[in-house]
Chain A
Amino acid sequence: MRVFKVFKRSPKGPQILGVLTIGLAFTIFSVFLLGIQNFQGIVSKWQQGIEVLCYLNSDLPESKIKEILDRIKNEPQISEAKYLSSKEVKQEFLKEAGNLLEGFENFEEELFPNLISLRLKRPLTVQELKALASRLQEIPGIKEVQYGGKWLERVYESLNFLKGLLLVGGILLFGITLFICSNTLKLIFYQRKEEIEILRLMGASESFIRIPFVIEGTLQGTLGAILSLVCSYLIFEFLQSKIPMWVLPYLPELKFFSLKTMLSIMGLGLLSGMIGGFLSCVGSSS
Chain B
Amino acid sequence: MIQVYGLCKTYPGGIKALEGVSFSVNKGEFVFITGPSGAGKTTLLRLILLAEKPDRGEIIFEGVNITRLNRKAICQFRRKIGFVFQDFKLIPHLTVFENVALPLEISGYPLKKVKKRVEQVLMLVGLDSKLFNQLPPALSGGEQQRVAIARAIVSNPPLIIADEPTGNLDPDLTVEIMNLFDKINLTGTTLIVATHDRSIIERYRKRTIFLQKGRIVGDESF
Contact = CB atoms under 8 A, between A and B. Distances in A.
Contact of A5 (B78, B98, B106): B98
A11 B76 contact: no
A202 B81 CA distance: 8
Contact of A204 (B89, B90, B106, B135): B106
Interface in B91-116: 91, 93-94, 98, 102-103, 105-107
Interface in A1-46: 2, 5-6, 9-11
Contacts of A2: 98, 105
Contact of A199 (B81, B98, B106): B106
- Of A2, A6, A198, A199, most buried by chain B (CB within 10 Å of CB) is A198
B88 to A, nearest CB: 10
A15 to B, nearest CB: 11
A203 B102 contact: no
Contacts of B74: 203
Contact of B49 (A194, A201, A205, A208): A201
Contacts of B94: 5-6, 9
B51 interface: yes
Interface string A152-176: 0000000000000000000000000
Nearest to B151: A202
B75 A198 contact: no
Contact of B78 (A9, A194, A203, A206): A203
Interface in B49-92: 49, 51, 71-72, 74-81, 83, 89-91
Contacts of B135: 9
A99 interface: no
A202 B93 contact: no
A199 B102 contact: yes
Nearest to B95: A9
A201 B148 CA distance: 13
A11 B89 contact: no
A10 B93 contact: yes
A202 B78 contact: yes
A241 interface: no
A198 B80 CA distance: 15
A181 to B, nearest CB: 23
A5 B94 CA distance: 8
A203 B91 contact: no
A201 B51 contact: yes
A286 interface: yes
A110 interface: no
A286 B102 contact: no
A198 B91 contact: yes
Contact of A203 (B79, B90, B98): B79
A202 B79 contact: yes
A286 B51 CA distance: 7
Interface string B28-65: 00000000000000000000010100000000000000
Given A5-B98, A208-B106, A286-B51, A203 B93 contact: no
A208 B104 CA distance: 12
A48 B89 CA distance: 69
A202 B106 CA distance: 8
A195 interface: yes
A201 B83 contact: yes
A203 B76 contact: yes
A103 B165 CA distance: 107
A150 B58 CA distance: 83
Given A2-B105, A286-B51, A203 B77 contact: yes
Contacts of B106: 199, 202-205, 208
14 contacts: A2-B98, A2-B105, A10-B93, A198-B89, A198-B90, A200-B78, A201-B51, A202-B78, A202-B106, A203-B74, A203-B76, A205-B75, A208-B105, A286-B51
Q: 9 closest pairs, A vs B, by CB?
A: A203-B78, A203-B79, A9-B93, A203-B75, A204-B106, A198-B89, A202-B103, A195-B91, A205-B75
Interface of A: 2, 5-6, 9-11, 194-195, 198-206, 208, 286
Given A9-B135, A198-B91, A204-B106, 20 more contacts: A2-B98, A2-B105, A5-B94, A9-B93, A10-B93, A11-B93, A194-B89, A198-B89, A198-B90, A201-B49, A201-B51, A201-B83, A201-B89, A202-B102, A203-B75, A203-B79, A203-B80, A203-B103, A203-B106, A206-B71
